Structure 1
Amino acid sequence: MNFASDNIVGASRPVLDALIAANGGAEPAYGADGPTRAVERRLAEIFERDCAVFLVATGTGANALALSALVPPYGCAVCHREAHVIDDECGAPEFFTGGAKLAGLPGVGAKLAPRTLAEWLASLSPSVKQMPPRALSISQATECGLVYTPGEVAALAEIAHGAGLKVHMDGARFANALVSLGVSPAEITWKAGVDVLTFGATKNGCLAAEALIVFDPALAEAMPWLRKRSGHTLSKGRLLGAQLQGYLANDHWLDNARHANAMAARLAEGVTALPGARLAFERQANELLPVLPRETAERLRAAGAMFHPWSEASLPEGERVAPHETLVRLVTSFATTEGEIDAFLAAARG
């Protein structure tokens, strides 16, 4: 009954099989291997255009590298104030950019609204006393489990580009958002104005593999050197490539995300049927944020259930967590079973 996150389980069988298959023999080092080249071609097919692909082992590395290519040391990147890049990465973006700043804005459900972004940009002074914004970073899905539609991404990107900013999408749960929306990868990224995408895989079936996808060729020019000097160019790069080969083959990545989302929908249905429980936000991907009676949360923990309490900073207008209640986050994965969900709900009911 562990719903703390979707990175708590190991890798899926197709990913492991691909990794074992790539382990034998010799391959060129530092990403010049066959599996990595195959993944680059496959991602170009998936996104319906040529793009520069850089494989790394962690999402933190991918996000920090992306922002280091977009923001100079004297600049800043704007994001939601609860975004992973500003709240959970120990200053890695600031470190990789050489001192650039992250500016966090408010928004319901950890989503940025176009008006919020436009008003913030308009409020800035051209004075050298302030760091100029150079990038917008949005999370897909957000820390509250909500997804940006293609229209919402396009609206934000239009404002950002109009102000001279590049657009980065942190897609740690990109697959979950994609299957929830039912659109193509291209529609939700470069066609909507995204310049750089962190294509997450570790949370959805890989052991440790992420792809930094750069749609703007000019932005990709420095990336090989940025990745190398940051320590994220693996000598045995084929082990990253192999994971993503297995992940992408036969749409396995989408099947994993569909399963995780379906399990979240089942869990959401059961949680909302509990006495005194409700969802703070509509369940859209594989995360849900229920408001539970404290006694229910304590009963679940006593039964061995694992989950995290969550911030109330981005709640919708009119939603309040009473003293006898608690807001928590529950996350399902590609490996979540119906039995785990049923056991969780049984424990909640006591």
Structure 2
Amino acid sequence: MFFASDNWAGAHPAINERLMRESTRFAAAYGTSELDRSIERRFNDLFEREVAVFFVATGTAANSLALASVERPGGVVFAHTEAHVIEDECGAPDFFSGMRMIPVDGGEGKMNPLNLKARMARYPQDAVHHGRAAAITLTQATEVGSIYSLDEIKAISSIAKAGSLPLHMDGARFANALIGLDTTPAEMTWKRGVDILSFGGTKNGCWCAEAIVFFDPDMAKELPFIRKRTAQLFSKSRFIAAQFEAYLNDGLWLELAAHANAMADRLREGLRASNSARQAWPTQSNEVFAIVPKSSAKAAADKGAKFYDWLQPSNMQDTVSDDETLIRLVTSFATTADDVDAFLDAIA
């Protein structure tokens, strides 16, 4: 019963097998192998246009380097109050980009467009003391399990374009959001005005595979130097490419995300039927947040369930009583229906 994080899951067998095959051969280093190049071209097909792709090891690196590529002296970056770039990356986006992350409030883990406009108004381009607006970043799926609709992405991108700002998407759970919306990678990104994407594979069955995708290759001219200077240019980067080859082959990545989401649906259904526990708020991806009696949480933990207690986010409507606790449950490609049912039985 492992629900602490999708990062706890291992790697999918198909990805392991591809890594094993790659380990027996020689190939050019530093991203110049034919495998690296072929997977870069595969991203063109995936997004239905020419893109520039850079492989890195972690989601934190992808977010930080993506924002570093659009750095402006005195720049500030707007993100939701609970965004990963603010709360969970130890200041790495600020450190590597040289810019500050500015929180924007909004319900369901999404930036409210009116709040975004108000925050941006405080950082005009001539605000030498306060700093100036430089970029916007949104997380898809969000940190609280919700998903920006295509119209909501477009609304944020329209604000970005009006301010001549690049829009970055943190896609650590990109595939889960894609399945949740039943749409295409192109529709959820550049067709809605996204300029740069952190494309995550690690949470969805890869061992260590993230990519920075620029939908206008001209925006990526500095990234090779930024990546090298930040120690993210792997000499054997083909092992990241090999993971992506297996990940994208025959739609495996979507199959894995669909399974994770389905297991989260099973959790949601079980919580709706529970007499003691309940969902803290509706979610759409592979994250579920539940309010459970402390005694039930302990009983589940004693039976081997792994999950995290969670701090109450801003704009949370429900209340947690003194004898209850808020927990986060994350499903993965490796979660089974038996895992879900055993957890629901444990908190019953």
User: Normalised by the size of structure 1, how large is the TM-score?
Assistant: 0.96
Report the Cα distance in structure 1 between the residues aligned to 2:281 and 2:167, rounded to whole angstroms: 26
**Residue 325 of structure 1: how far off its partner (Å):** 1.8
CA RMSD of aligned residues (A): 1.2
Structure 2 residues not aligned, in runs of 5+: none
Give the secondary-structure state (helix, strand or coil) at the position aligned to 1:289.
strand
Aligned to 1:139: 139
Report the Cα distance in structure 2 between the residues aligned to 1:71 and 1:294, rounded to whole angstroms: 45
Report the Cα distance in structure 2 between the residues aligned to 1:345 and 1:119, rounded to whole angstroms: 43
One-letter amino acid of the structure 1 residue matched with residue 346 of structure 2: A
Contact 1:109 1:314 in 2 (8 A): no
Aligned to 1:81: 81
2:114 is aligned with 1:115: yes
Contact 1:265 1:283 in 2 (8 A): no
**Residue 302 of structure 1: how far off its partner (Å):** 2.0
Aligned to 1:297: 297
Contact 2:104 2:112 in 1 (8 A): no
**Count of aligned residue pairs for this structure pair:** 347
Give the secondary-structure state (helix, strand or coil) at the position aligned to 2:306.
coil
Give the secondary-structure state (helix, strand or coil) at the position aligned to 2:103.
strand
Structure 1, residues 231-280: CA drift from partner, whole Å, max 9, x if none? 00000111110010000000000000000000000111112222232212
Aligned to 1:203: 203
Structure 1, residues 212-245: CA drift from partner, whole Å, max 9, x if none? 1011223100011100111000001111100100
Contact 1:22 1:35 in 2 (8 A): no
Contact 1:71 1:77 in 2 (8 A): no
Give the secondary-structure state (helix, strand or coil) at the position aligned to 2:194.
coil
Give the secondary-structure state (helix, strand or coil) at the position aligned to 1:70.
coil
Matches within 5 A, 1:214-233: 214-233=214-233
One-letter amino acid of the structure 1 residue matched with residue 14 of structure 2: P
Report the Cα distance in structure 2 between the residues aligned to 1:306 and 1:315, rounded to whole angstroms: 26
Aligned to 1:324: 323
> CA, structure 1 residues 176+184, in 2 after alignment: closer, same or farther (shift >3 Å)?
same
**Residue 67 of structure 1: how far off its partner (Å):** 0.5
Report the Cα distance in structure 1 between the residues aligned to 2:76 and 2:119, rounded to whole angstroms: 13
Contact 1:263 1:286 in 2 (8 A): yes
Matches within 5 A, 1:44-193: 44-97=44-97, 99-124=98-123, 126-193=126-193
User: Normalised by the size of structure 2, how large is the TM-score?
Assistant: 0.97
**Residue 50 of structure 1: how far off its partner (Å):** 0.2
Report the Cα distance in structure 1 between the residues aligned to 2:323 and 2:106, rounded to whole angstroms: 25
One-letter amino acid of the structure 2 residue matched with residue 337 of structure 1: T
Structure 1 window deviating more from structure 2 (3-12 vs 320-329): it is 320-329
Give the secondary-structure state (helix, strand or coil) at the position aligned to 1:299.
helix
Give the secondary-structure state (helix, strand or coil) at the position aligned to 2:49.
coil
